[in-house]
Structure 1
Amino acid sequence: ALAMSEPGSGSDVVSMRTKAEKVEGGYVMTGNKMWITNGPDANVLIVYAKTEPEKKSRGITAFMIEKGMEGFSTAQKLDKLGMRGSNTCELVFEKCFVPDENVLGEVNKG
């Protein structure tokens, strides 16, 4: 699953609020993603978060999040009028530690 959209921001990446702060050995991710197709069923997700918020769209990094990581959970399953064949949900990151090896591509290169 690919997770970029957020409550209150939609798919506007510059308005993204999910943050990943650098700590020893990795990052601590905090925030929410919304309307994530196949989110409840995915074992691995690609999640975008701001690593340098002051850089706007240039301060975004992609991370690989694995089901079961401490601090990561799926919240409400969202009902839709169509597309019932793919589950959609909200993702919650509460001080989720993401190791350095789960950074995809270059830091701040989205």
Structure 2
Amino acid sequence: MNIKRAALILTLAASALGATAAAASAQPLEHPRKAEVLARAEHQRHEIKAEVRRGEIGPAKAHRLLAANRQVVREVRHHRMLTVSEEHRLNRQETRIHRHLNS
């Protein structure tokens, strides 16, 4: 009886581990172009907030820049995968935001 019970427990544990591993590998990974644009937007958000803290830009300008940055992030998250042309377009938008930040 104990051998059967031990075998049953080991079988259940192995199947539970297999199901957990399958679920973990089934989660979609972030597309590289999408991850790049999101990382740039996150960096830019920190940069805007730092300039506000240093007093280099006013709160109204920061609000406009952060809103534009959020729009880019929203657009990226809407797509499952970015094409090269979409990545270029979003990077141009981020570049425009960065230029406004430095002007």
TM-score with structure 2 length normalisation?
A: 0.20
TM-score with structure 1 length normalisation?
A: 0.20
The higher radius of gyration belongs to: 2
Structure with higher helix content: 2
